[in-house]
Amino acid sequence: MPGTVVSWERWIVGTAVRVTYDARAGVRPPRRNIRLDKPGNSSISFYCKEARVPLLTRIRGPRDLDRLSLEELDQLAGEIRTFLVDAVSKTGGHLGPNLGVVELTLALHRVFESPKDKVLWDTGHQSYVHKLLTGRQDFSRLKMKGGLSGYPSQAESEHDVIENSHASTVLGWADGIAKANQILDRDSHVVAVIGDGALTGGMAWEALNNIADGDRPLVIVVNDNERSYAPTIGGLANHLATLRTTDGYERFLARGKDLLERTPVVGKPLYETLHGAKKGLKDFIAPQGMFEDLGLKYVGPIDGHDIEALESALARAKRFGGPVIVHCLTEKGRGYQPALQDEADRFHAVGKIHPDTGLPIATSGADWTSVFGDEMVRLGEERTDIVAITAAMLQPVGLDKFAKAFPDRVYDVGIAEQHGAVSAAGLAHGGVHPVFAVYATFLNRAFDQVLMDVALHKCGVTFVLDRAGVTGTDGASHNGMWDMSILQVVPGLRLAAPRDADQVRAQLREAVAVDDAPTVVRFSKGAVGPAVPAVGRVGGMDVLRESGTDTPDVLLVSVGALAPMCLEIATLLDRQGITTTVVDPRWVKPVDEAMAPLAERHRVVVTVEDNSRVGGVGSAVAQALRDAGVDVPLRDFGIPPRFLDHASRAEVMAEIGLTAPDIARQVTGLVSRLDGRYGSAAAESVEPARD
């Protein structure tokens, strides 16, 4: 590009200069003739090395990797890590897992031909490098509205398949896709990347059992970094650890074959005898027999940061033509010292951080999770029968302090929510009170166990649901928007929705006091706001605002963390001349017996919940009113029955109309219709409340 002008700084102190050089297109000599033009028309000429163009900027798709040398691939791996640290530090996201799969992802996309070959991720939080290599390099709005999802997304790219981000499902997906390829006679491969943490889930082993019963081409890559969030635990983790520290059997057998086949007379028969005893010998030298007992070929362990070794192993697996496990050893947080020094979870997921130090850019106040965690420690000190259960998420659900104080009273079951729930039933039957802390969306996986093992047997188990309601940036699969619907059908179960930190503490204590039924305490993600005081009590319900009249218009039923919003709604309605009583049921299941008599004193009942409208608290209240013969109009506000795209919590709530002005406007219209004032002027005049 002749006459290119490049800005230049710091070369000549105290002067502003520009660098001008000539370059012929397509020619990249190692040095350029540079002329520095200074004020006063004087100039300096000298030779300077040309700045290296980042390789990452040239990658627009997986096939762009094919022409790179090993040296260039190593350079690209370094550039990707630099990009990830810089980009994710600005937006937050899953940093540690992606730093660990850079070379593995490069090798996968060089050996396989995505999207013809399907590359599947379990879980999808480790797909950032995959996104970069498939044409998605704008991470400026990662996990934000209109930006890239933090997980694979079919809407983003034809290279993406699984979006659900719930662990241990990938092998079932891979099995189904491989079967479809066989039926439709497609010449394509399926590659399933599963972390050692996800491999602790029972679904993964159900799928392995089915995958082994066939000869379909399917490559299972075990990304073994010894962690899911925290270090992976359990018998499988110990088995993988043994494999990590053992020399490969294949090399041993190859050396033995070479030696014995050169031994006269007895050599070949002896080798065949040894080969016939392959399983026993193999278990002695490298105990990967567990996989081969299932009928799965095993390759590894492989250095997950050696691109050449990875490509060789993956190519062999691809040629095999049947199910193969490739065991790769990776390092979570690789290349970023702050992550490597974080023993808790190697920067599994971070907020906005300083890229040089890894320290948070800003600190927030107490969050819901920490309030629960601190209260658990206090309960543990008071009651020796309280134990805690986590499904591979000790720190994210706030049980790390309890584990430190009472290490013998914490059980990490791995990514196995079903087992966790059943084990909790057994613990309760044995005379202790288990508290199973889990993300609300992940309790979906254990519904049958909650119903048939815990509730049916009247076991005193407390389930604590973190990240309940709209969580926002993690997308559709992480919103905790179904629990208050699916749990409504469980006989005997009691469900609490605390509105603030004080209520988390109080209702957790109330929950663990129940020893003849399951209890649930659910709360939101993020910072917990100031206390919302009650001004009275009706039955077991807290009154947050009195109507100030004997004939109030609206009974506003506020569920959980939406209490401040409901108080704002009441203020907006008051400006329209609509009197409102605001109550917090505290325990939303069963519906408080005082609800129906209280509703009968009002003209309209409105429920507001951070849960699906279908079968949620609003539906339960409506049924309770019908059963009591109370004929009062009810309007329920909640989350519509659809999957929500990633965005901030506030943006999602605004999109679905779950804001104070939106709700006040609709309630105003409803009351106006009851009054016979069918015009829309009153409803349209509702504006947000101001302090």
Q: Give the catalytic positions in this structure.
A: 332, 417, 445
How far is CA 525 from each of CA 40, 164, 407, 479, rounded to the nearest angstrom? 62, 19, 26, 10
H-helix or E-strand containing 611? strand 604-612
Amino acid letter at 344?
A
CA distance 63 to 140: 25
> Which among 27, 32, 36 has a CA at the least distance from the CA of 8?
36
CB atoms within 10 A of CB 629: 8
CA distance 503 to 265: 82
Do 534 and 543 touch, CB atoms closer than 8 A? yes
CA distance 475 to 439: 14
Token pair for 433: 């009170």
How far is CA 169 from each of CA 176, 314, 404, 651, rounded to the nearest angstrom? 11, 22, 32, 30
Amino acid letter at 252?
F
Exposed, middle or buried by CB within 10 Å (0-12, 13-18, 19+), for 312?
middle
CB atoms within 10 A of CB 549: 10
Token pair for 137: 């390099």
Hunting for tokens 């049958």 — which residue is that?
Answer: 448
> Which among 38, 7, 9, 35 has a CA at the least distance from the CA of 22?
35
Q: How far is CA 549 from the centre of its chain?
A: 48
CA distance 576 to 664: 10
> Which among 621, 650, 423, 635 has a CA at the least distance from the CA of 524?
650
CA distance 475 to 588: 26
Do 97 and 125 touch, CB atoms closer than 8 A? yes
The backbone torsions φ and ψ at residue 365, rounded to the nearest 5 degrees and listed phi first, read -75, -165
Cβ-proximal residues to 605 (8 Å cutoff; 6+ apart), any chain: 554, 555, 557, 599, 621, 625, 632, 633, 634, 635
